[in-house]
Amino acid sequence: MTETSWTRWPSREALSRDGISRSRRLLGWVVRLLVIGMLLWGAYNSTHVHGWGAVAAVAGVLLASLAAWAFWRTTLAHRLLPSIALIAVLMGIAVAGEAGGFTTAALVIWCGCAVGALERLPLAAAVPVMSVALAAFAAMNNDVWLTTAVTTAGLGLAGYTLRLDAEARGTAQQLLAQERAARAAEAESAALAERARIAREIHDVLAHSLSAQLVHLEAARLLIERGADREQILERVVAARGMARDGLDETRQALSALRGELTPLEDFLSQLVGTTSGAEVTITGERKPLPAEASQAVRRVAQEALTNVRKHAPGAKVRVRLDYDDHQVTLAVRDSGGPPGELSEAGAGYGLLGMRERAELLGGSLDAGPDEEGFAVTLKVPV
């Protein structure tokens, strides 16, 4: 059956005490104590109550209090039939109290049933229960009809106001829970993104450095097996040591990047080009600070592009150009081409695929391929 506003329960957040301030809770307990006090006063104020009659009156008050507590619990669990049964028990106690001469106590119970039903039950059940309770109240009240009518209308309005207040509080609690869940998911997503960034940095540095060292060490092993002279073997070992030193420097740079301690991009490119013979760098546009991810992407692509030149076209002239635009930064690395070097068969490590993935993660693009002279790599990253 489709749920409508008449058959829908107030939310559990609305029916619970969550989100209620300490002052309102204190006020609620004061009201409950006043109601119980009125019930006890009505029981003992009757001149005809003596002995076992007084005991029965107190037992009735305690039973009504227990039924009211049970009604609160069953409505919190959204159990309709037990809730209506408990309301019926309360009304039965009121009828018994009226029959025994406890008119004040009966009137208080009927008022409580009307307000409680309208506040906590679905409207389809609350309206009939409220009508019966208020009808009994009006029938047994000794005030003039106008006072009784105003009181009855006020009780109905009070119950509906309490219902609206509870639903507003429940909605606020649900929104708060959703916000907390969203913040937790956002924090988890940020942590996963940071882990992925650290993994990329480690992979970019170590895979590239170790693969180059492996090539030189493997060449040294082959030279030893073939009985090559000492100078040739030493040359390979020194080259491997240089690769290890470069890898250590790159690792330190990666750690600095993760800490947000990056050297200026222009200085980095100048230092990088300085280690490559026949390379020059040109920087155009108004220089501006880049986000850490964008700056690191430019550094890694420039590093990998120059490494590929040393592998595949050693001795070629290389032009590195960095252009700052209003909405993006463009890095272009072009070489003049040449015969492949002895390391051209070595694994690329990071490679073009890794460069392209890094660019796409930032919303940019990477183009790599032959041009008129040699090979060109162009990276565009939005800033």
132 Cβ neighbours under 8 A, 6+ residues apart? 91
Answer whether residue 78 is part of any domain.
yes
Q: Report d(CA 75, CA 73) in Å as an integer.
A: 6
User: What is the pLDDT at residue 42?
Assistant: 57
User: What is the pLDDT at residue 47?
Assistant: 47
User: What is the pLDDT at residue 39?
Assistant: 57
Residue ranges of the chain with pLDDT lower than 70? Answer: 1-3, 19-21, 24-25, 28-29, 32, 35-54, 57, 194, 197-198, 200-205, 207-208, 253-262, 275, 338-351
Answer whether residue 333 is part of any domain.
yes
Q: Which of 142, 167, 193 is the last residue of a domain?
A: 142
**Bridge partners for 376 per DSSP:** 334, 369
Answer whether residue 182 is part of any domain.
no
State the CATH number of the domain containing residue 365: 3.30.565.10
Q: Which of 91, 112, 142 is the last residue of a domain?
A: 142
Answer whether residue 330 is part of any domain.
yes
Q: Report d(CA 104, CA 95) in Å as an integer.
A: 12
pTM for this structure?
0.49
User: What is the pLDDT at residue 41?
Assistant: 64
Answer whether residue 83 is part of any domain.
yes
Q: Which of 126, 142, 158 is the last residue of a domain?
A: 142
Answer whether residue 155 is part of any domain.
no
Q: Report d(CA 11, CA 171) in Å as an integer.
A: 8
Q: Where are the beta strands (DSSP E) in the chain?
A: 279-284, 318-324, 328-335, 365-370, 375-382
Tell me how far CA of residue 343 lies from CA of 120, 308, 326, in angstroms: 79, 9, 39
User: What is the pLDDT at residue 349?
Assistant: 42
pLDDT digits (tens, 9 = 90+) for 336-353: 876 654 444 444 444 677
User: What is the pLDDT at residue 340?
Assistant: 58
User: What is the pLDDT at residue 343?
Assistant: 44
Answer whether residue 354 is part of any domain.
yes
User: What is the pLDDT at residue 330?
Assistant: 92
Domain count along the chain: 2
Answer whether residue 327 is part of any domain.
yes
pLDDT digits (tens, 9 = 90+) for 199-232: 766 666 676 677 777 877 888 888 888 888 888 8
Task: State which residues form the domain around 343.
Answer: 263-383
